[in-house]
Amino acid sequence: MKIGDIVLKIGNRAKDIGAKVLYPVFLLYHAYKRPETPFWAKNIIMASIAYFLAPFDSIPDLTPFLGYTDDISVMMFGLVSIACFINEDVRINARKSLDGVLVGYDQKVLEEIDQKL
């Protein structure tokens, strides 16, 4: 295996990990913007996003591939808690937001997340 092949595989995996972390954030964000989302659900959404953005967690996030596992867990808890407020419009808007930030990720990653909801 050539070095270029290894770098390409690492880059593709990083895109998938990026999609796995960012897509839930965008789902939460777009669910928050829905007027039908109740106050208690918006509180869960804000807490999940705040944990993701919290500066005290930034040092462990520098660890490749392992640093975001806690962030993903918190976001998935938030998503499962408010899953009934994630409709097709929220999914479409979240995918559009993700497309604006990340290019070339595997769509299967998003489908796996959607199936868990």
Per-residue confidence in pLDDT tens, the chain, 117 aa: 555 555 455 455 556 567 887 888 889 999 999 999 999 999 999 998 888 777 665 555 555 555 666 777 777 788 888 989 999 999 999 999 988 888 777 888 889 888 887
- Please give the model's pTM, rounded to 2 decimal places: 0.77
Residues 6+ apart with CB under 8 A from 16: 105, 106, 109
CA distances (Å), origin 75, targets 1, 15, 21, 63: 36, 18, 8, 19
* Cβ count near 104 (within 10 Å): 9
Comparing CA positions, the residue from 62, 73, 64, 57 lying closest to residue 21 is 73
Kindly report, residue by residue over 62-96, the tens digit of the pLDDT: 555 556 667 777 777 888 889 899 999 999 999 99
Name the residue type at position 71.
D
Whether residue 44 contacts residue 82, with contact meaning beta carbons closer than 8 Å, is answered with: yes
